[in-house]
């Protein structure tokens, strides 16, 4: 990790030098032509994109058109980790990484990666918009990031090539997870063999049998057509993912105060909008998946919850995380 940070700092020095040279020869007012670059991993139909479109709309409204936002979907500017590094390098202004990826830079955020943490969406929103969210925003700031808002990244289920009617059906199945330690530990605890493949490799891995299934939300399951190669969906709601709408603290502080205010207003409004879009899309997409021939199963959830306790024992490993967990429990 230290070596990686040294590499980022070195790259940043080069990037800053280039930007400085460019500014010397610029004759126009930067404020009149400021374009903020925002990147994310989803496609054009998914909630991240809709949320950032709302963000761009509000920024433009609040600055009377003096600041615009250019959106780059589908990992055009790199994968989520590379986009986070781009924020620190100054080559990207805004990103929406899945929370678990940002934990590589802000360890306190790993509290959101635990299985069955939230009872439902409303519980999650109370957590994100309350004391826990404020404390985690402070942790992000301490590590060089400015939180603009918490997005949702979907209620997650299990999609497979054979039906999962109980937790026993996962035994020894290879299930793709995100490259997040608590997610890997969760599926190993469920009895599966967790396989943290790159997301870009998932369709081919399912098609070729490299993995037997994956965890997914309705939105990306449909958008990426995973149902073509994994037509069974076990509704377990094992986690609801959080995504972090962020800038680097340095970049945020470089903006004029009125633009900072506009960005914060846009972050708040777009987060509310993105969550609404996600909930509405989930309800609609479920019906569309049924019509497409996806077979839904409803395994008993309690065995999954029971096995999840081992994950809590492993990952709630500091007093600070325990304090955050206590607050989350109080908000149920």
Confidence of residue 156 (pLDDT cuts 50, 70, 90): very high
- pLDDT band for position 33 (50/70/90)? confident
10 Å Cβ neighbour count for 28?
7
Give this prediction's pTM.
Answer: 0.86
Q: Which residues pair with 235 in a beta bridge?
A: none
Q: What is the pLDDT of residue 11?
A: 53
pLDDT band at 101 (very low <50, low <70, confident <90, very high): very high
pLDDT in tens, 165-220: 999 999 999 999 999 999 999 999 999 999 999 998 999 999 999 999 999 999 99
Strands (E) across 273-331 are located at: 295-297
Is pLDDT above 60 for 3? no
**pLDDT tier for residue 2 given thresholds of 50, 70 and 90:** very low
What is the sign of the dihedral through the CA atoms of 259, 262, 264 and 270? Answer: negative
**Size (the chain), residues:** 332
Average pLDDT in the 96-110 region?
96
Average pLDDT of 111-124? 97
* Cα gap 312→204, rounded to integer Å: 32
Interaxial angle between packed helices 131-142 and 319-330, expressed in degrees from 0 to 180 and rounded to the nearest 10: 150
The pLDDT tens digits for 258-287 are 999 999 999 999 999 999 999 999 999 999
Domains of the chain: 2-322 (3.40.190.170)
């Amino acid at each position: 990790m230290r070596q990686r940070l040294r590499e980022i700092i070195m790259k940043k020095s080069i990037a800053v030098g280039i930007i400085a040279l460019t500014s010397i020869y610029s004759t126009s007012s930067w404020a009149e032509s400021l374009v903020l670059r925002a990147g994310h991993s989803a496609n054009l139909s998914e909630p991240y994109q809709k949320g950032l479109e709302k963000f761009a709309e509000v920024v433009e409204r609040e600055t009377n058109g003096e600041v615009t936002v250019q959106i780059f979907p589908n990992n055009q500017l790199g994968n989520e980790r590379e986009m986070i590094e781009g924020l620190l390098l100054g080559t990207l202004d805004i990103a929406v990484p899945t929370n678990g990826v940002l934990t590589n830079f802000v360890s306190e955020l790993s509290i959101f990666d635990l299985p069955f943490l939230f009872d439902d969406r409303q519980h999650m929103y109370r957590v994100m918009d309350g004391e826990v969210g404020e404390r985690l925003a402070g942790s992000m700031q301490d590590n060089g990031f400015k939180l603009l808002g918490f997005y949702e990244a979907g209620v997650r289920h299990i999609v497979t090539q054979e039906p999962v009617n109980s937790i026993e059906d996962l035994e020894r199945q290879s299930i793709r997870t995100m490259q997040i330690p608590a997610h890997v530990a969760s599926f190993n605890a469920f009895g599966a063999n967790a396989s943290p493949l790159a997301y870009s490799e998932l369709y081919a891995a399912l098609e070729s049998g490299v993995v037997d299934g994956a965890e997914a939300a309705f939105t990306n399951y449909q958008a990426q057509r995973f149902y073509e190669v994994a037509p069974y969906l076990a509704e377990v709601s094992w986690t609801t993912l959080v995504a972090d709408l962020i800038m680097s603290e340095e970049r945020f502080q470089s903006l004029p105060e009125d633009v900072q205010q506009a960005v914060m207003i846009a972050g708040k409004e777009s987060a509310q909008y993105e969550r609404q879009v996600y909930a509405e899309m989930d309800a609609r997409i479920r019906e569309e998946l049924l019509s497409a021939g996806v077979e839904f199963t409803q395994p008993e959830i309690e065995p999954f919850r029971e096995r999840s306790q081992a994950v809590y024992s492993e990952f709630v490993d500091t007093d600070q995380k325990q304090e955050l967990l206590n607050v989350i429990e109080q908000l149920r």
